[in-house]
Copies of this chain bind each other. A is one copy, B any other.
Amino acid sequence: MGEEHRDTRQHDRDRIAHRREDNDCSVYIGKRPTMNYVMAAMVILNKNEDCTIKARGRAISHAVDVAEILINKFYPSAFYKDIKISTEHLQNDDHKVSNVSSMEIVLGPRKPQEPEQN
């Protein structure tokens, strides 16, 4: 019984570690205050890594707010590396499939040096 319990906890830890590794550079937008997500994204950008802001459905406009606040106020050196929109097919509890729009905004920490223009 004790052994089994320890196994489960180990399994949980592995699972969480695995998930963290996967999504280390992503921020998933939900219903928390905007500044929480802005801070989370700044932590990633400060490591000099690209940060991906992901959102689904109604949270998409919230994701755009987060990215704009970040670039205009807190991290002016960041830039939009890529913006992707797509549809995800989610199965709910009744085994019905519903289509939900999703968005990924990839932010780079430093703008690439532009060639001088005259």
Contact = CB atoms under 8 A, between A and B. Distances in A.
Interface residues of A, number: 20
A80 B85 contact: yes
A61 B87 CA distance: 12
Interface string A83-118: 111110000000000010101010000000000000
A70 to B, nearest CB: 11
Interface stretch (A4-12, A18-26, A36-44, A52-60): A52-60
A57 B87 CA distance: 20
Interface of A: 57-61, 64-65, 67-68, 72, 80, 83-87, 99, 101, 103, 105
A68 B86 contact: yes
Nearest to A82: B83
A85 B67 contact: yes
Contacts of A64: 60, 85, 101, 103
